[in-house]
Amino acid sequence: MTGFDITAEARRRLVLGGALIASAAIAGAARAHDRTDTDPRVLDGNPMPEPPADKSAGPVRPGRGSALAGKLALVTGAARGIGRAIAVEFAANGADVVCLDICGPVSPASNARPATPAELDETVSQVRGYGRRAEGVHADIRDITQLRSTAGIIERDVGPLDIVVANAAIQRWKPLLEMEDSDWRDVIDNNLNGTANTVRVFAPGMVARKRGRFILLSSMQGKHGTRNAASYSASKWGILGLMKSAAMELGEHNITVNALIPGLVDTPLTRYETRLRNSMAEQGVTPPAHPTPQEAWDNRAPTVPLKVGWLQPDDVSPAAVFLASDAAAMVTGAEYEVTGGDSAKDI
């Protein structure tokens, strides 16, 4: 008998029993983790190393680690769209949330209307609707000095952050050769430099605490080229390089860094006529001058494996909950795609 012997049947009954509450004897036998594998964890009589609890997603149990109770998260670009959905979904899963947004114009090199303070207030109110603490912060991710002082205030007045979602971004639709200098520079500065600022500002606190989760919003347009949106594509491609590099550097501090990659999602970033026309043109059809949303949906849906014209923000946010959770302890440097199936055909 080794210290790990426990019969398969005993293990099965415990799992089926739900709570997997081990008896004293079994707890002793299972050591740090009570896992589903029943083989003795030995090789040629030598015990296999047992990972420490914070270096593993832990044993199977109902709802394991998928709740975010007791966690404090920060979401940038939280006034609306995917950022709001992630903030509210985090709250629904038990996290307190700091909701950060510029709440105003970012650059003329943005096709979307500016977000408003009222929209950020609405996100805060929806988070509080789940009984969670929420703070709204007006800040610009491009301004690293302002971001550093914001981080200091959050740590002092709200608490240590467990999770940071770098979501804020803008998009520019213009042919490469017609771009103003600012159409290139401002999109890269906002999306890539702003995301890097977010990681560089909030990582040191996590390093000191030896735990943390970063989720960086990239895009399917960061995985393939995009006709007439080169600066956006390049910024989102760059975020993948940032994510993988940060994952390599921060892993030893028990911090995970992953990219969440949505397909086309209906938000103010995408809800305007030029975007509808672009979405139809991407399918190889000549769009009418003024397509209706229904025409754009009908045109695109047949090409998407799950047969939707586009996704909703709260189709994307559950994946952020997983990446933020204890259950994703061993997921880092990874890309998590939520695309309705576009990722099956796009690279």
Ligand X SMILES: NC(=O)c1ccc[n+]([C@@H]2O[C@H](COP(=O)([O-])OP(=O)(O)OC[C@H]3O[C@@H](n4cnc5c(N)ncnc54)[C@H](O)[C@@H]3O)[C@@H](O)[C@H]2O)c1
Catalytic residues: 232
Give the total of residues touching ligand X (CB under 6 A): 30
Smallest distance from ligand X to CB 168, Å = 3
Residue from 169, 199, 276, 323 that binds ligand X (CB under 6 A)? 169
DSSP secondary structure code for residue 114 in this structure: P
Smallest distance from ligand X to CB 324, Å = 16
Position 123 contacts ligand X (CB under 6 A): no
Position 162 contacts ligand X (CB under 6 A): no
Smallest distance from ligand X to CB 226, Å = 11
What secondary structure does DSSP assign to 164-204, as a single string?
EEE-------B-GGG--HHHHHHHIIIIIIHHHHHHHHHHH
Smallest distance from ligand X to CB 118, Å = 12
List Cα–Cα distances, 165 to 7, 16, 125, 148, in angstroms: 43, 36, 19, 16
Position 201 contacts ligand X (CB under 6 A): no
Position 219 contacts ligand X (CB under 6 A): yes
Q: State the residue for tokens 């680690």.
A: 65
Smallest distance from ligand X to CB 299, Å = 16
Cβ-contact 347, 302 below 8 angstroms: no
Position 262 contacts ligand X (CB under 6 A): yes
DSSP secondary structure code for residue 223 in this structure: T
Position 342 contacts ligand X (CB under 6 A): no
Q: Which two tokens stand for residue 56?
A: 């593993």
Specify the residue, 256 or 270, whose C-beta has the smaller distance to ligand X: 270
Position 77 contacts ligand X (CB under 6 A): yes
Position 276 contacts ligand X (CB under 6 A): no
Residue from 72, 269, 296, 323 that binds ligand X (CB under 6 A)? 269
Choose the stretch contacting ligand X; rule: CB under 6 A; options: 17-25, 39-47, 55-63, 134-142: 134-142
Specify the residue, 41 or 236, whose C-beta has the smaller distance to ligand X: 236
Cβ-contact 170, 110 below 8 angstroms: yes
Residues 141-160 that bind ligand X (CB under 6 A): 141-142
Specify the residue, 96 or 315, whose C-beta has the smaller distance to ligand X: 315
Edge-to-edge strand list for the sheet holding 335-338: 134-138, 96-101, 72-76, 163-166, 212-217, 255-262, 335-338
Strands 42-43 and 46-47: antiparallel
Specify the residue, 14 or 320, whose C-beta has the smaller distance to ligand X: 320
Choose the stretch contacting ligand X; rule: CB under 6 A; options: 168-176, 251-259, 301-309, 326-334: 168-176
35: phi then psi, degrees, rounded to nearest 5: -100, 170
Specify the residue, 40 or 272, whose C-beta has the smaller distance to ligand X: 272
Position 79 contacts ligand X (CB under 6 A): yes
List Cα–Cα distances, 112 to 232, 234, 248, in angstroms: 13, 18, 34
Measured between its terminal Cα atoms, the distance across the chain in Å is: 50
Residues 298-317 that bind ligand X (CB under 6 A): none
Contacts of 222 (CB under 8 A, 6+ apart): 233, 235, 236, 237, 238, 239, 240, 261
Residue from 167, 198, 233, 299 that binds ligand X (CB under 6 A)? 167
List Cα–Cα distances, 290 to 276, 280, 297, in angstroms: 9, 11, 14
Question: CB count, 10 Å around CB of 312?
Answer: 13
Position 170 contacts ligand X (CB under 6 A): yes
Specify the residue, 20 or 242, whose C-beta has the smaller distance to ligand X: 242
Please report, as ranges, the residues that interact with ligand X according to CB under 6 A: 76-77, 79-83, 101-102, 106, 112, 115, 140-142, 167-170, 190, 194, 217, 219, 262, 264-265, 267-270
